[in-house]
Chain A
Amino acid sequence: MKNYDLVIIGGGPAGLAAAVKAYDLGMQNILLAERDDCLGGILNQCIHNGFGLHHFKTELTGPEYAGRYIEMLEERHIDYMLKTMVMDLAPDKTLTLMNSEYGLFSLKPKAVILAMGCRERPRGALNMPGDRPSGIFTAGTAQRLLNIDGFMPGREVVILGSGDIGLIMARRMTLEGAKVKLVAEINSFSAGLKRNIVQCLDDFNIPLYFNTTISRVVGKDRVEGVYLSKADEYFRVIPDTEVFVSCDTVLLSVGLIPENELSRKAHVKMAHQTRGPIVDNTYMTGVPGIFACGNVLHVHDLVDNVSEEAEEAAKNAVAFIEKGAWKAVLKIRQEADCKVQEGAGVSYTLPQVLNFEALEDLTRINFRVKKLYEGASIKVHFDDQEISSRKMRVMAPGAMQAVYLKKEDLDEHRPQTITVSIEEGEED
C-alpha cells in the first residue's frame, strides 16, 4: 500500500473541499476515504435547492453541489476509496481502514483531516414512551428512503422537532401526496431556518406548535396515532393537556450529533458545547496533525460554510505537513495562547482557542445564539475590554453567526480571553 501524506476521512462536502484545496496547494499525495458507495455525503439525499448561493453564486440542489466538487476531484485525479471504512485512528495518526479490496489495512500519514459529518439523534436518546410500532423514522432516514431508495415512508405524518430536515421533509412528503398534519416543537422557537418554515410549512398550511411534544405513541404493528402534550420550559409534559392525533408515520427531527467515535479514539479533546473537537484558528485539534472541519466539528446549516471551513483546514494541514508548522503550540489545549469563550446569549464559539503564531489578517469566530434576538448587539471583549459591538436586526439559533477579528488588534492586545456575547437592544 502506497503511503499518503494526507488522509481525509469522509467524502462529504467537507472532505471533498479539503481534498481539492490541499491538491491545489501542491499536496499530491492525498487519500480520501469514504465508507459509502459514492461521494457527496449527506448532500446526496438533500435533493432540495438552497445550496451554493454563496460559493457558486447560484442556487443548487445538494447532489448538484456535491457533483461540482466530485468533478473537481476527478479532474485532479485525487485518490479516493469508496466503501472504505476508517475503523480506528490512533493519537500518532495511524489509521486502520477496511474495504473489500484490501481487507483490513493501515496507513500512517503526516496529517489527517476529520470530515466524518454528523448523525441524527435517534429515538432512543429521546426517551419517548408508548408502544414501539413501525412507522417511526428519523427525518434523515425518511429522506434517504424517499429520495434515494424511492420508497414513500407513510401517508399521514406527524413530525416531532422543527429542525431543518423535518421541515424539508414536511414539504417533500406533502408534494408526494402525504398529509402532514403538524410539526410539534418542544422549545418556544424553531431550530430550523426561517426560510424553511416559510417555504416548507406556511406554503402548505402545515401548523407548527411550540412548547409541544409527543407524550405517547399508539399502535400495535404500525403507528396509529400519537398523543401530543404541552411542555413547560424544563421540557416536562404538563398533565391533562393531552390530545390525540391519528397518523401512520412519525418523523423525528430533533437534532444532529457530530460523529466523533474516531476522534475520541485518537484522544482528541472534545467541547461539550459543540460535541465536536476543540480546535484552534488553524482547525487543528489537540492532537498534532489532526485537523477537523464540517459537521464533525460543529453542525452547520450552510454547506457553503462547510466548504470554506474545509479549505481553511486543508490549507493548514498542508502547512503542517510541509513546514511542520506550529509544533511549538501543541500544548495549546492545556495552556493556550488565548481562549475564545461564549458569553451571555451565546451557546458556543468556534474555534475555542487561538494560536497567535498562525494568525491570518482576519480570524473568523463562528458562534450560535441561544434564542431569537431582535435588535440585539454582538459584543466582543478582549479580556475585560469591549473591542467591538455590532447591532443585528435578527439572530436566530438556527443560523450560524460570525465575527471577524483583525490580526493587528489581536497582536496589539494579545488577550488571554476573548468573549463573544449578546446584549439585548433598547426598543426604538
Chain B
Amino acid sequence: MAEQRKLTCISCPIGCQLTVDLDDDGNILNIEGNSCPRGPIYAKNEVTNPKRVVTSTVRVNNSLVHPVVSVRTVDAVPKDKIYEVMDLIRQLHVDLPVKIGDVLIANIADTGTDLIATRSYE
C-alpha cells in the first residue's frame, strides 16, 4: 500500500477519524472510521478535490443600522478558489431589503454554486 492518510470528517460535529488507504496512483483502496455514509464522500473529496463552504459578510449601501449582511456559498467550493471567492465578496455592495436565500452572486468564481444571503433585513 502506498499511503495511508488520517482525516477528520468535518461533515458533522461528531468529527469521525477516518483512515484512507491510497495506492501509488492516489486511488482510494479503502476508507474506515466513518459512522455514516457522509464520511466516505468527504474523504473522497478531501483526497481528490477538497472543498469548503465559504461564509462571510458583504457591505450594505443604504443602511446605518445594518452595515453588513451575512452570506454563504450554497455548496462547498474548491479550497483553492476560496480566496478568489472572498475577493468577490469583498467587492460586493448590496442594497436592502435583502432576504434569506436571495442570490447575490450566481455561479461565484465559476464554481457552479451561488452566493446567497443568510439573513433578512428590511
Assess whether A399 is in contact with B70, with CB atoms less than 8 Å apart: no
Residue among A67, A151, A302, A396 with the most chain B CB within 10 A?
A: A67
The residues of B that contact A149 with a CB separation of less than 8 Å are 67-68
A150 to B64, CA, bound (A): 11
Assess whether A59 is in contact with B53, with CB atoms less than 8 Å apart: yes
A34-77 interface with B by 8 A CB criterion: 44, 47-50, 53-54, 59-61, 63-64, 67
B52-107 interface with A by 8 A CB criterion: 52-57, 59, 67-68, 70, 72, 79, 82, 86, 100
The residues of B that contact A1 with a CB separation of less than 8 Å are none
A199 interface hit (Cβ, 8 Å): yes
**Contacts between the two chains (Cβ within 8 Å), count:** 82
Task: Number of B interface residues at 8 Å Cβ cutoff, please give it.
Answer: 28
Interface string of A282-303 (1 = CB under 8 A from B): 0000000000000000000110
Assess whether B70 is in contact with A47, with CB atoms less than 8 Å apart: yes
B113 interface hit (Cβ, 8 Å): no
A193 to B9, CA, bound (A): 12
Task: Number of A interface residues at 8 Å Cβ cutoff, please give it.
Answer: 35
Closest Cβ neighbor of A194 among chain B residues:
B15
B47 interface hit (Cβ, 8 Å): no
- Grouping DSSP codes into helix (H, G, I), strand (E, B) and loop, the A interface class, with mixed when no group exceeds half, is mixed
The residues of B that contact A399 with a CB separation of less than 8 Å are 13-15
A194 to B33, CA, bound (A): 15
The residues of A that contact B120 with a CB separation of less than 8 Å are 67
Closest Cβ neighbor of A59 among chain B residues:
B53
A138 to B57, CA, bound (A): 20
A53 to B119, CA, bound (A): 18
Residue A61 contacts which of B10, B13, B72 (CB distance < 8 angstroms)?
B72
Assess whether B70 is in contact with A63, with CB atoms less than 8 Å apart: yes
Assess whether A64 is in contact with B118, with CB atoms less than 8 Å apart: yes
The residues of A that contact B33 with a CB separation of less than 8 Å are 393
Closest Cβ neighbor of B82 among chain A residues:
A175
The residues of B that contact A49 with a CB separation of less than 8 Å are 53, 55, 72
A2 interface hit (Cβ, 8 Å): no
Closest Cβ neighbor of B9 among chain A residues:
A195
Assess whether B8 is in contact with A67, with CB atoms less than 8 Å apart: no
Assess whether B56 is in contact with A47, with CB atoms less than 8 Å apart: yes
B1 interface hit (Cβ, 8 Å): no
The residues of B that contact A274 with a CB separation of less than 8 Å are none
> Do A193 and B13 contact each other (CB < 8 Å), given the known contacts A47-B57, A48-B55?
yes
The residues of B that contact A47 with a CB separation of less than 8 Å are 55-57, 70, 72, 118-119
Assess whether B86 is in contact with A175, with CB atoms less than 8 Å apart: yes
The residues of B that contact A64 with a CB separation of less than 8 Å are 100, 118-119
A399 to B8, CA, bound (A): 14
A332 interface hit (Cβ, 8 Å): no
The residues of B that contact A199 with a CB separation of less than 8 Å are 10, 52
Closest Cβ neighbor of B35 among chain A residues:
A393
A49 to B53, CA, bound (A): 7
Residue B119 contacts which of A67, A151, A195, A394 (CB distance < 8 angstroms)?
A67
A366 interface hit (Cβ, 8 Å): no
The residues of A that contact B2 with a CB separation of less than 8 Å are none
The residues of A that contact B16 with a CB separation of less than 8 Å are 393-394
Assess whether B118 is in contact with A63, with CB atoms less than 8 Å apart: yes
A171-203 interface with B by 8 A CB criterion: 172, 175-176, 193-195, 197-199, 203
Interface string of A62-103 (1 = CB under 8 A from B): 011001000000000000000000000000000000000000
A195 to B18, CA, bound (A): 12
Q: Nearest Cβ in chain B — how far from A200, in angstroms?
A: 10
Closest Cβ neighbor of A199 among chain B residues:
B10
A77 to B121, CA, bound (A): 20
Q: Nearest Cβ in chain B — how far from A130, in angstroms?
A: 32
8 nearest A-B pairs in the assembled complex, by CB-CB distance: A150-B68, A150-B67, A47-B70, A194-B15, A195-B10, A63-B119, A61-B118, A195-B15
Known: A176-B56, A394-B15. 12 other contacts (CB 8 A): A47-B70, A47-B119, A61-B55, A64-B100, A64-B118, A67-B100, A150-B57, A195-B13, A203-B52, A393-B33, A394-B16, A399-B15
A-B contact pairs, 11 of them (CB 8 A): A59-B53, A63-B119, A67-B119, A149-B67, A175-B54, A194-B8, A194-B15, A195-B8, A195-B12, A197-B8, A399-B14
